[in-house]
Copies of this chain bind each other. A is one copy, B any other.
Amino acid sequence: MNINQLQKKIIDKKSPVVVGLDPRLEKIPDEYKKDGKISKALFDFNKDVIDGIYEIAPAVKLQIAFYEKYGIEGLKAYSDTKKYAKEKGLFVIGDIKRGDIGSTSQAYSNGHLGNVVYNGIKVDDFEVDNVTVNPYLGEDCINEFIEDIDKYDKSIFVLVKTSNKSSKQIQDIKKDDVTIYERVAGIVNVMNSKYDENYGPVGAVVGATYPSEMISLRKQMKNAYFLVPGYGAQGGGAKDVVNAFNEDGLGAIVNSSRGIIFNYEKIGSTVKEGAKQAVLEMNKKINAELEKANKIYWK
């Protein structure tokens, strides 16, 4: 599924919300752990979250670290979850933050954006619609993903300005009046320039926790979709994320993880119902702020 197909889902569902599937075993209710298998506990929990949200949100994001933590069993859950999310029509983002030198970046791309055929069998355990990419090694490493973007009709989000506190340390260093994150934004623009679509396949991660950087980056990268982390648990609010959207009310998706998947604890409901209520609430809040800013697409 490409960025334009994602956009169609956003419009159909009137929702720019990405549900972050970052399960933590210690927060998953015991009823999911009865048979003692990690992969089943993680997947069954995710399945209930997906069942609660697939009709009202366009996308999910799987933070692979929370699966890698549990080894092979954890990654089986990653693979099962992304397959189930696809079946339910969701756009699936693998939040993998990979990036390496030439042929190594290509191997990551082949495994996560594409697939490998071996002995006539397709290996697509980790194939998703979109992955996040770390730019510290420069553009040759990001470029390795472009071949698979074109071949499989996929997309990526490049880390531009991350939501954490110490993102300033490297990303905000300014030389000749240009910060590192603006340089990365420049690489994103160059990569998108070869595509005709309104939004190119190279998106940007821009944290909700830095509102003024968000405003300037939105202007700088008109043709890039933004993936906005930092909403909710990390401190970003609906007002902050409005600046991630273009004037037409499109161009951004907003992620929330803990606030959605663990909402059942807060409201004392099932996992499914908790996730559903959290997304409905988040849709409402963001849409209200978009309306106030005169940026609503689906009036």
Contact = CB atoms under 8 A, between A and B. Distances in A.
Interface of A: 22, 25, 36, 38, 63, 65-66, 68-76, 79, 97-102, 104-105, 107-108, 110-112, 116, 118-119, 123-126, 134-141, 159, 162-171, 173-175, 180, 183-184, 187, 229, 234
A85 to B, nearest CB: 17
Q: How many copies does the complex hold?
A: 2
A10 B31 CA distance: 50
B123 A139 contact: no
A74, A111, A141: residue with the most chain B Cβ atoms closer than 10 Å: A111
A166 B138 contact: yes
Given A135-B170, A166-B140, A76 B71 contact: no
A254 to B, nearest CB: 16
Contacts of A119: 36
20 contacts: A36-B118, A36-B119, A63-B104, A65-B104, A65-B107, A68-B111, A69-B107, A69-B110, A70-B123, A71-B79, A72-B72, A72-B75, A99-B134, A137-B170, A138-B166, A138-B169, A141-B166, A170-B170, A173-B173, A180-B180
A137 B100 CA distance: 15
Contact of A97 (B73, B79, B99, B162): B99
A116 B42 CA distance: 15
